[in-house]
Structure 1
Amino acid sequence: MKKLLLLSLIGFASSSFAQTVNDVPLKDIEVDYVQIIGTGRSLSTKVNVEIDFGQETKSISFKNGTNIKDERGRNMKFNSMMDALNFMSANGYSFQFAYTMNDEKDKAIYYILKKNK
């Protein structure tokens, strides 16, 4: 009985954490619009996804902190931008429009999303 209680408490505690950006739970971000930025990762089919909701970032930091982190605090990895879009939709955001930017080194796709009310 004690083992069952302990396992259920651990399960409840692990499910009570949410995905975060800058340590803010994704569902608690108090903005109307967000931008997700997808860039390809070298030698991988997965994409790096960052989120911009107008937060302040540290200009000196090598890590900008805009990556979506899972319950364990690790950067989430998405199979594609559609995977990221489905994830954001499940977290209360709807797609508005998309655009791409290409420069000499990088190619990035930007999705503008609106928070559902």
Structure 2
Amino acid sequence: MRYLPTIAQTVNGIPIKELEAEYLQIEGTHVLLSPKLSIDIDYGQRDRALVLKDTEVRDENNKPVKFNSMIDALNFMSAQGYEFVQAYTMQDSSHQTSCYFLLKRKKSEKEK
């Protein structure tokens, strides 16, 4: 598998492993003219002052990380400490379908 160093991936400027969220949702949408997906993460974050919230996973160069599939994104998020809860799809008014996965932070050995 191809996972970049985990400290490099951020959402809204915060390293994924440092998100203070018990639950989060990932949304996968197809990248135009590509088989890859763009993954957005909603953990209930607020917009930063004068900046729209950035929900894409970004690398150490602040470029969006593209995933091969929702399973690729799910495996990535599992490595970040989250586990799958539920999946569903929705279609917007332009008939584009997005896939959503609800994830929960994994319990540590101490919490079990």
Q: TM-score range by the shorter chain?
A: 0.7 to 0.9
Identity %: 48
Could you report, residue by residue, the CA deviation over 1:6-35 in whole angstroms, capped at 9, with x for unpaired residues? xxxxxxxxx684211111110000111000
* Equivalence for 1:104: 93
Matched, 1:65 2:54: yes
- For residue 85 of structure 1, what is the aligned residue in structure 2? 74
1:18, 1:70 → 2: CA distance? 5
Q: How far apart are residue 73 of structure 1 and its match?
A: 1.6
- The structure 1 residue matched to 2:24, chosen from 26, 34, 50, is 34
Which residue of structure 2 lines up, in the alignment, with residue 54 of structure 1?
A: 44
2:7 and 2:77 mapped to 1: Cα distance? 16
Name which of 18, 40, 44 aligns with 2:8.
18
User: Whole-Å Cα distance in 2 between the matches of residues 16 and 87 of structure 1?
Assistant: 9
Greater per-residue helix proportion: 1
1:95 maps to a residue whose letter is F
Unaligned runs of 5+ in 2: 108-112
Partner amino acid, structure 2, of 1:73: N
Paired letter, 1:76: V
Q: 1:26, 1:66 → 2: CA distance?
A: 11
